[in-house]
Structure 1
Amino acid sequence: MTVITKLSVRGFKSFAKKTEVPLLGGFNCFLGPNGNGKSNVVDAICFVLGKSSAKGLRAEKSANLIYNGGKFGKPASEAEVTIYFDNSQKTFPIPDKEVRVTRVVKQSGNSTYYVNDKTMTRQQVLDILAAARIDPDGHNIVLQGDIVHFMEMKPVERRVIIEDIAGISVFEEKKEKAMNELNKTQEKLNEAEIILTEREKTLKDLKKDRDQALEYKELEKNIERNKATRVHLMLKEKSEELEEVEKKYSSFEKEITAIQEEITSLKKEIQEKRRDIEVINVELNEKGDKRQRELGKEIEDLKTRIIKDSSRKDVCDNELKKLKERKQSLEESMKEYAKKVGEAQNKQEKMTKENEDVRKKEESLLLKVDAYKKKHGIINQEDVSKLLEELEQKIEVKQREILDIEEEKQAELRKKDRIEYEMQTLDERITKIQALKKEDQEKFAKLKKNREEFKGITQTLSESLNQSSVYSSQLSNARNKLMDSQEEFAKLRTKSIGIREASAGDMAIKKIISQNTPGVFGTVADLGQVSGKYSLAMEVAAGSRMKSVVVASDAIAAKCIQYLKENKLGVVTFLPLNKLQDRAISAEEKQIAKESGAQGLAIDLVQYESKFGSVFKYVLGGTIVVDDINVARRVGIGRARMVTLTGDLVETSGAMIGGFRRESSAGLGFQQKEVSSGMERLEKDMERLSETVQLLEKKKMENDEEIVYSRERKAVLEAEIRAAEVSIGGTEDIKELEGKRKELVGQAKEFESKQKEFESRISSVEKELGKIKQEKQVHMDTIAKMGSSEVNKELDSFEMQRQGLREQLIKNDSEKNSLQNQIGLYDSEKEKVVSILKNMEKEFESFSKELKNLQEELHANDDILTIKEKHQKQFYAEYKEMFNKRAKCEELIQKKDMLLVRNEERIRSVEGRRNDVSIKKAVLGGEVEGLKKELEQFAEVALRRGIELPELQAEIKNFENILRTMGNVNLRALEIYEKVNEEYVHLTEKFSTLKLEKEDVLKMMYEIESKKQESFMKTFKLLERNFKEIFTSLSTKGEAELVLETPENVFDGGVDIRVRIVGNKYLDIKGLSGGEKTLTALSFIFAIQEFEPSWFYLMDEVDAALDKKNSELLSKLIAKYSKGAQYIVISHNDAIISEAQTIYGVTMQEGISKVVSLKV
């Protein structure tokens, strides 16, 4: 609870000086003569509480509330009123024990509010007072005239007061919100229903495209899955093959190890037997003749020499046999090369003759062109055409230069790989040689000879391998280029089909075009060409007008429209040339087109026949192509219609349409020129690359045969060298190998600078190529602008014929060059074969000579051995037992030596086979790694099971054929359909939700209405009871009641007050006297206060119309209620004053009011 403890007034109305009035709880009464300022106390309280209306404070305006100085005084500059509230029980949301509310008004009429000396707005003050349940317009403040207002109040107004007390406004607010929500929901329902209908139609239209796109996607998925499965099967097959090769390699390693162990064992046994022989020889030396010892040694040396010569003889026989077979094979190759050279030369002669015929046709055509140009007065175009030919040749030269640099770059990379491989090989060889030990100097000469031969064969093999790498690289590049060309050709072909179909994608347009009606020229998209750079911008700028059909006249358009109607085919927009008006380009649009960031007017970027100028002006108008949206903003939104290169559109209205656009697969025909020229170029490239691939495959196969031979010979030599190195060591070549390695390291460092040089050269040539292409485009534009359209058409026809002849010449020259290259390759191969045959002749002669010498030497040694053994037998006869023992040892040594030689031959043979397997292992390893890498791109793809490779290949081919027959498929239909379907589902759910929301709102409104009436009736009954009781206590001769005008629906009517003074007849309030009206109104006011009690009550002369008796009853009633609240009453009635607890007298001197208090 709170009370007003003090009122401070300064400069307010008649209170000129600062006046402080302390107030107590209970019944406070202000009295004094009329006009002395009693009611100004009430006005001051209402003023400081924030009463908004100055008229309610008995003033015309706020400035009139300030003390005016009277007749002789000085007017105040402002009026200030402060009211003090007790806040000991924390009624206000302020921590202080006392709350001071101050309002100051200036002469300007502006008011300032303070709460505890802090400046606040009026609303903040009202919020603080509201927290303490204080309302400046509340029913606890009854001013002069309020009694009359209560009496004259209409029934509906009384009902509204009761509604306020009952809190009906809360229900009304909820009801109003519910109504607003219901209206919004209904609007949303209507919108949703319209959109649902549209989406349903759109879904039906999209379903066909979506089904086709799904089929396309499924085919792509099947192709990808089949390809992944194919790679997987190939990988599995190659992995199994590699595993078998590794097993073979491992078995060869084991076999070599076993033979090595056997060789070691044999050497150990031979060594032991030789020690036994030495012991026997020592004994024989002591007992026998020195000559016999020498004889024995000579015999042993002869046998050893015979064994070695026999072994070498076998090797020479094998080599001679291999040389004969190789020579026969090479001679057959020579014949094949000669045959192919002859065929190629015949083709060249045929091509030369064809070229002569084509040149004659070209000369004849040029004469026709010159005559035509002279006839139509065209002079300079020939010069421009020649210049274009020169530029074309320059472009071709630059492109070839780039390709040459790329080939050099790849060759250097292959050299680097080869050097790294050689470095690795050298490291292994150096390590191996360092581990060997020198045992026998006698074998060194043979080892040196083998090494020299090994170096020669290694060099040959290296050259062959290098050539193989070159062939592989060239073949790979050629195949990749061929595949790229095929893929690009397929894309362009698809795009070309899409261009033709996109412009006539509608069935109605297709039918009109297919009729071939004279005067029907085609769609706008068919008639215009534009660079790919501007394709998207033009598509957006033109919009749906791209599909408009251009006709010669309105009559033809009417005829086509009638045809569409009769066949129910649909609707098409026709553009008749005889009716279209040219749209003038404004000076401002031309100026904007020249600004920085602008590409120019859209109509200037399209190529078309002059007769269709009005069409493209209608379609594109003054649209300007700019770089991006920022340029459009800088130029000025709304100044002109602009479109960006990325497809964002800015309208003159200020509308901006843009965002992410998927690249059109067709381009609506604007790139037709680039597509057709690209397809022609790619067809020639594919033909040339196919021939190159075939030639390189053959060359590589022949080179591979050479590599196999070199490897076989190298393996034999390597085995012999290794066997010798095991016996005598190989340390002599270490320095040479280390020198080679150092040289290779230096070469490897040079590659980085070379790669940068290649990149720089390529960049430089590409810049030159770009400049030449720009120059060519300028001259092409010049040609396009020369002459009339009819003349240009005829010249274009001549140029196309000439171009066809030129292409035939280029094709024939290309074939001739290709054939010449083939002849060169064949001649080169023949030279190599001749060189090989010469070397083979030398080798054959060398081996034959060596074989003959070996045979003679073997024969001579056999004879010498026979003689020496005869002499030895004589000696044996004397020392038979010892000789027998030594003979057995020598025989055993001989057997072991034979076994040792055989094992060495075996180990060389096994090492040769192991080397072959090692090569195959490396090849398979590379293939497996390549397949693994290829399989990585199919990591997410599920593989198929239980299918073989041939079946997979057939399926892939079949699926790809189906894809090609499907033509242009709108894959965006999937995304659009899903998006539209998702929107449709969402809208359906939203529609259902909105229906439920509508039902909930209606239900809530019904509940609000029920609770509203229930709350009103509850309040009304309590108020009526209070009213009756209070009226009875104030009036001794009657009773009163509150009556509803429409009890069945209380909100359709108001509330009447009926009073019965005497008798049984109730009177209307208008029929009461002034005092009776006052008592009735006061009863109503006190009934309201009883229902909703306040902390204090303010009453200004409410007893004016009461007689003494009724005044006494009122005074007692106020005294009764003052026990629970603070009452401040303005009165000059003695009966009222008699019951007051504190009396305040208000007097006036010289127009200034003063207050004197008295506590009774």
Structure 2
Amino acid sequence: MHIKQVIIQGFKSYKDITVVEPFDKRHNVIVGRNGSGKSNFFYAIQFVLSNEFARLRDEQRLSLLYDGTSVTTISAFVEIIFDNSDHRIPIEQKEIFLKRQLNRKTDQYYLNKKLVTRPEVVKLFESAGFSNSNPYYIVKQGKIDEMAAAPDSYRLKVLREVAGTRVYDERREESIATLKDTMIKSQEADKLLKNIEEKLHSLEEQTEELKQYQQLDKIRRTLEFVIHEVELTANKENLANVEKQREALADVQSDLTKSLTEIQEDIEKNETIVKVARNALDALKEESEILTNDQQRLTKEKIKLELTIKDLSTEAERDDKLKQEADSRLATLTQSIAEKEAELEQLKSAYVSIKMQEDKFKMELALKEQKRKELYAKQGRRQQFSSKNERDKWIQKETEALDKQLKDKQRHKEQLEADLEKDASRVNEVKKKVAQLVLEMDSLKEAVDNHKEHIHELKKNKLQLQATRSELWRKENHVQQNLNSLKEDVIKADQKLKSVVNRAVMNGKDSVRKVIETFASRGGEEAELVLHYHGLVLDNFKCQDTIYTAVEVTAGNKLFYHIVDTEVVATKILNEMNRQKLPGEVNFMSLNRLTAEVRQYPKTSDALPIITKLMYDPKFEKVMQFIFGRTMLCRDMETSVKIAKSKGLDCVTLEGDRAESKGVLTGGYFNPHRSRLAIVKNHREVLGQHRERRFELEQLKEEILKHQVLLDNIVSEIEKTESKITKAKATYDEKNAEKQFLREELSNIEKNMGQKELLLTQCKSDLEVIQVTKEMLEAEMEHDMLSQLSVEDQQELKSLNSDIQRLQQEIKQAVATRLKLEGEKNKLENLLTNNLMKRKNKVLNTLEEMSLEDKHHQLANAKTDLEEIDSKINEIIQELGTMEKKVKEMENRMKNVRDQLEGLKKQEREIKNQIEEDAKQLEKLANKQTQLEHKINESMEKINEFGTLPVQELFNRYTNMATKALLKELAKTNKNMKKFGHINKKAFDQYLSLLEDKKKLEKRKEDVDLSFNKLQELLDTLEMKKMEAIHFTFKQCSKYFIEVFQKLVPNGKGLLVLKKMDDSKGSEENLVDNLTGIGVRVSFMGPNAEMKELNQLSGGQKTMVSLALIFAIQKCDPAPFYLFDEIDQALDPEYRRATAKMIHDLSEQAQFITTTFRPELLEHANKFYGVTFRNMASRIRCVTKEEAKDFVEDDQTR
């Protein structure tokens, strides 16, 4: 424990609020010029802690308030923050805030922000080792000189204060005052007894009747006494019996309460089982409903498929029949077409042959007729033309006309040839197109088949996906049911957690979580802060369930402290909490501020360090050491007390009983069902299960969504594929129509080509005729114009006439043959084209359509689908059967558990009724006990009213009589006493009253004399203990004085001497009053040098002796911290260095705060503070060692 920080405002020269930077737990030095406010800083600490400022008058209060030239404060406060990490102050906090606030009217203390009284503060700090009898933990200016100049009696007085004799003196004074009061009371009792005796003596001289009456009264009083005694004994026995009955009932109630707790736990477990089973049953029923829906859906699809299969079977059979018929017709037609085509080929061959012959004959006939015609024209030219020249002109003109005809015919021929060539090319093109269309139609047919197969596969996939989706729905339903159940468990776990953990702590936990989430969402540097936050202490270790109670007792609320890497992280979290105005209480443990202390644990089989039973990350070693490092887990309380006392370690048992190193024992019953670690563990597990189920549900929903998307895609793909089939069929029909059109076009072209070939033959014949006519005309121009034909011409004409007749006859025969062949040919062509080929094409189209539809393939796919649906339905039926079995088993189990639960609830009601009945019985017994105690008290009071016991002879006479006999005897005595009714009652009452007063006074005097003797013994004891305390303290102080003086003056030697009035009186050796003082004898020149008294020393030497004595006193009664105000003022440099070394050594065990003007104290100090005075106000701040030296050097220069 040490002073961590001091905050001052309005106190003496400290006008503004002054927050002193935290002190080091060892040696701190405060420097500053004279008048800067160093001593006022010490006064501020004394103001809070010292008795010197305990009771302040109004003027003293005003003197403590800041009073500047222009401003005067109306209130002041000083707050000291103590580091309580070692828990020296018995408060479960690491820091203790003690504040004293003062104004003109009030003076108040605040402990941890709560208003307290000064006695409470004094008591609290006395428990931490602050002794009011030792004022030397604060040494002000002048205290050293005062000690040096003080006489031996003053040092004895100081020693007595350190020894705590003030307590003995106070009790002795109280005892003496009580003794005097007791003596006065005894004397007064003697006087009163004397007066009563005189009055009784006067009353006893009255009549004999009074004596008889007194005798009877004694008998009456004895009888009443015995009766009361008998009643008292009976009532005591009854009371003992009642108490036994109450104890027995209490034990029974304890057992019943324990049984009730166990039964209620069983009820809770069974209710949980019922709830889980009910949820599982609901889930099974919902799954069964889903499966039933699937079964109904699949059944509908099955019925639909069966109808489709039936229709497809009918259609397939019909198609088979039609195909068979079509194939038969096609074969017949193909054969007929082949025969007719063969017959047509023969006819065409004969027709072509005869046609060629006919054309040849006709061409030959035309030539011969043209020659004949020319010959006749030539014969008549003489008559037509008058001269050769005229003839030649005409011939020339005719020749030119023939040339023109030749050219026209030649163009016509070329045109016909070109058209025939074009038609031939078109025929080839059409044939290629038809062939291409056939290929394309085959491709379309194949595509339709592929599309249908694809649709079948898609439908199979769709069915599979629907089944998978149904299974996912069932899983989702099961997980949702489980999640709903877990939500209730989470609510219960939250309620349990809130019931065992402070609400503010829970709010703080939630607030920190929100802050961490905020940091993570912001990113950047704030997101990195998340890595430096490690959660609660209890989140960072694991242990066995068996030591939960021990761990909780050891750690307490520290289980809910938050672990961070540095205090910067904690500050930023708190700032964000404040910014967001988040509620809650938060405590942080900063890893960079903790130290892992190495401890030596006792080696024993009955105990082990509790930290060894914890499992945690090594980076949290400091945290675990801080919380659990100084605690041992012991087998029993006896071992705990032993180790705590001998080893200075805290100990705890598995049951939670604790023995602290300070001697504090705590324990009692710990309900394991209220274990915070178990509840937090359960809360964590339930939350984890809830998160897992929620994650699983989200995944299932995502999976269902994926399957739904896949199903939608499949439906869309089926629609697209069906659309493709429709489109392909439409395209097929278009191609087929185009093919038919092309075939018709081919037929028309071929027909036109035949006509054009006839025209071409005619044209060629005309060309030959025109050429022959031209040649003949040109030949005629070479001859003279004759009146008749030449012999050659005449012979030729004759020959031509003969040939023409012959040719006409042959042409007639050829035409007749051709017409006959042509009729037969046309008939065959018409039969083929308009009948057989059309019928064949129609049959082929029918077959192609049947092939395109492919009912058998559709039927096979439908049957496959039906088999899959049957398989799915069978699986569902099996699952439904299994589920039905499970439902029955679950219902039977629930019935059994409910029956068991009803039995447990019945037991619970019976036990509760029994507890209530026992409670009523206990209440009755309590009332009876109260009545008996009341009767016992009444009997005791009545017995006490009798004062001293009756005459023993009378008492022995009646003590063994029965109650009835006693009452009879009492009635007889009361009857005899009535005979004395004429006696002066007043005198008798006075006598009895005086007699009673006498007895009371005698009892009172007896008590007073006993008290007097005990007080006398107490005074002797106090005197003896005071002497023992003084001697013990003197021995300690003398020992430490020798040690300290040796360290301060290495070549010196010092002794303390206890002086008495007369050393020769051994009988008075132990009397405190015989002590006169404490002398000091020292030597500064070596151990063998002459020892000197204080009055023989120099000022600096006296100061060293005083310091040694003060250090010795402090070691006798150590405090956690010390305040020294310029104790080195009068010392030489050598002694200042020795003093600084001494303080440095002592600071290992306690904190020192010193002021100085000298540099020696700065050498070994750990921290430095400078006090300045500006603008009429003091300020204090932390400075470096060099700055502190500058303060000292500057002050020395001044």
Report the TM range for the smaller structure's normalisation.
0.3 to 0.5
Q: What TM-score results when the alignment is normalised by the length of structure 2?
A: 0.33
Say which one has the larger Rg: 2
TM-score, L = length of structure 1: 0.34
